[in-house]
Amino acid sequence: MAKTSVPQIKMPLTGNDAGAYAMKQVNPDVVAAYPITPQTELMQEFAQYVHDGDVDTAFITVESEHSAMSACIGAAAAGARTMTATSANGFALMWEVLYIAASLRLPITMAVVNRALSGPINIHCDHSDSMGARDAGWIQMYAENPQEAYDLWLIGIKAAENHDVLLPAMIMYDGFIISHTMEVVETLPDDAVKDYVGPYKPAYAMLLDEKPFTVGPLDFHDYYFEHKRQEIEGMERAPAALAAAAAEYEKLSGRHYGPVETYRADDADVIMVALGSTAGTARYVVDVLRDQGKSVGLMKLRTFRPFPHGEVTDALGKTKCVVVCDRVASFGAFGSPTFMELRSALYEVAERPLVINYIYGLGGRDTGPDLLEQAFEEGLRVARTGEIEQHVSYLGVR
Amino acid sequence: MEKKKGWKDVPLGGLIMEAGNADEYETGSWRTFKPVLDQEACNNCLICWIFCPDTSVLIEDEKIVGFDYVHCKGCGICAAECPKKAIEMVLDEEK
């Protein structure tokens, strides 16, 4: 076990418990949230902390997720450290205001408990909610388990609030699979979290700054583009801010968080790419297949925005076949979002690997080791023959 | 013409740091019809001044002295609200 500068406190927590506990320790100035479904237990637990006086957050319950994000924007523009959470169709109802939070450069942080978008009506896990907002200007990180849900949210706050970045961040974890599953989570002491995130230093604060100014005015063809270019620059600087925040966090926790994480991938002929909880299943399958002498590995993609194209090409550039598993369909596109991004990142690699895509687990369809093994076997066949039969396939659909 | 600033030099996130600078935005160019006041018919009730969304009814000593054509968009609310029918909207031929 790595040496850490503060003691780690082991607690049995679900993903939702871990998220709520991180919020409690951060003790944000304002939380605005929609209190009814599709909101998750996370916010119920945080409301309990508010009720019990464990935090002194101004907790605003609103009539919709559109209003939740709007209230967060108002609070953040006023100069408050602001957090929220949502899921699925609630997330979809936030859509237009997500862009506004990012364009106003307000480092709001939000847990997104990944659940399928209706219709048909469904409440179980897939990534169709957050993947749809991949161009909204938010940092996006996918947690594999409750531990990462806790850790990544803290790292996300630090990176988002970095004045080189000033963009909101969302931390994703899989609905039910992570949100409702209890695991041992190592938490930091309250003081360590408080010191790590530090006092909030807003870039601007309508209620605190002495000179009045206007937030969110009309911005036409003469300057809109310049402001978007600025926003892009904020995202361009996010990798460095995330790396710095993760490095500092590693000293406290002993846990290292890069944008990608590989497992037995260095010499592998076939590397699977997965996000979220499926990475855990894939790691198990890698071990099973390695025991059979098969040359397979895993690359877990943790940070989707900003997309870590350099790390992706470093991790995958020397393999023969990449099997991209995505828990989302992008209708009419050539493959799923991760497939498209990753294949584009690999384009200039000298001997680029063949890339195949599996869409899996929509609407919470269970994706066990047998299905991932099937995908690995196809990857091995492609690596052996050098021929792709089908770029985009489906795992576990009848 | 003023040289416009590049992305490195504009305020963060589209903030306007200077209060009241909407005055510099000449919305008069949007206008098709302009309000013209009939001084004889006007009783200076100032209802037009109250209703004008662009503070373009010019007042001196509680009397209307004209319109701010640099900012008046020609919406015609003043003419519609005037109880004395003292404001006429006429085609702005200069445009």
A187 contacts A157 by C-beta, under 8 angstroms: no
Q: Please tell me whether residues A148 and A213 are part of one structural domain.
A: yes
How confident is the model at residue B93, as a pLDDT? 80
The residue among A253, A274, A292 that closes a domain is A253
User: What is the residue-wise DSSP string for A58-96?
Assistant: EEEE-SSHHHHHHHHHHHHHHT--EEEEEEHHHHHHTHH
User: Which residue in A339, A345, A337, A341 sits closest to A310, CA to CA?
Assistant: A345
- Are A213 and B6 an interchain contact pair (Cβ–Cβ within 8 Å)? no
Q: Please tell me whether residues A154 and A269 are part of one structural domain.
A: no
* Token pair belonging to A69: 């994000």
How confident is the model at residue A1, as a pLDDT? 52
Confidence of residue B21 (pLDDT cuts 50, 70, 90): confident
The residue among A210, A232, A253 that closes a domain is A253
Q: For the domain that residue A313 is a member of, what is the CATH number?
A: 3.40.50.920
Residue B12 is assigned to a structural domain of this protein: no
A223 at interface of B, judged by CB pairs closer than 8 A = yes
CA angle A106, A167, A341 (to 5 degrees): 150
For chain A, the distance separating the N- and C-terminal CA atoms, rounded to the nearest angstrom, is 44
Q: For the domain that residue A170 is a member of, what is the CATH number?
A: 3.40.50.970
How confident is the model at residue B1, as a pLDDT? 59
The residue among A253, A286, A303 that closes a domain is A253
Provide the strand spans (E) within B1-95: 33-37, 57-60, 63-67, 87-91
- Are A204 and B15 an interchain contact pair (Cβ–Cβ within 8 Å)? yes
**Contact list, A219 vs chain B (CB under 8 Å):** 14
How confident is the model at residue A209, as a pLDDT? 87
Residue A98 is assigned to a structural domain of this protein: yes
Which residue in this structure is represented by tokens 């968080």? Answer: A257
User: Which residue in B74, B85, B4, B52 sits closest to A222, CA to CA?
Assistant: B4
User: What is the residue-wise DSSP string for A282-337?
Assistant: HHHHHHHHHHTT--EEEEEE-EEES--HHHHHHHHTT-SEEEEEES---TTSSS-H
Residue A1 is assigned to a structural domain of this protein: no
Residue A96 is assigned to a structural domain of this protein: yes
A385 CB neighbour count, 10 Å cutoff: 11
How confident is the model at residue A278, as a pLDDT? 98
Q: Please tell me whether residues A109 and A226 are part of one structural domain.
A: yes
Q: B70 CA to chain A: closest CA distance, Å?
A: 19
Whole domain around residue A265: which residue ranges?
Answer: 260-395
Q: Please tell me whether residues A154 and A44 are part of one structural domain.
A: yes
Residue A247 is assigned to a structural domain of this protein: yes
- Are B14 and A222 an interchain contact pair (Cβ–Cβ within 8 Å)? no
What is the mean pLDDT for each group of 10 consecutive residues in chain A (398 residues)? 84 98 98 94 97 98 97 98 98 97 98 97 97 98 98 98 98 98 98 98 93 92 96 98 98 97 98 98 98 98 98 97 98 97 96 97 97 98 98 98
Q: B6 CA to chain A: closest CA distance, Å?
A: 6
Q: Please tell me whether residues A315 and A168 are part of one structural domain.
A: no
Q: What is the DSSP letter of A352?
A: P
For residue A82, the cross-strand partners are A30
Look at chain B and report how many structural domains it folds into.
1
The set of residues, in sequence order, having a beta carbon less than 8 Å from that of A123 and lying 6+ positions away, is: A37, A38, A88, A115, A116, A175, A364
Residues B18-30 have a mean pLDDT of 89
A211 at interface of B, judged by CB pairs closer than 8 A = yes
- Are A166 and B12 an interchain contact pair (Cβ–Cβ within 8 Å)? yes
Q: For the domain that residue B63 is a member of, what is the CATH number?
A: 3.30.70.20
Residue A83 is assigned to a structural domain of this protein: yes
Q: Please tell me whether residues A80 and A224 are part of one structural domain.
A: yes
**pLDDT higher than 60, residue B95:** no
A163 at interface of B, judged by CB pairs closer than 8 A = no
**Contact list, B7 vs chain A (CB under 8 Å):** 225-227, 229-230, 233
Q: Please tell me whether residues A67 and A191 are part of one structural domain.
A: yes
Confidence of residue B94 (pLDDT cuts 50, 70, 90): low
- Give CA separation, B75 vs A379, B57, B72, in Å: 66, 12, 8
Measured distance CA(A304)–CA(A286) in Å, rounded: 23
Look at chain A and report how many structural domains it folds into.
2
Residues B64-84 have a mean pLDDT of 97
Whole domain around residue B68: which residue ranges?
Answer: 26-91
Q: Please tell me whether residues A108 and A213 are part of one structural domain.
A: yes
**pLDDT higher than 80, residue B2:** no
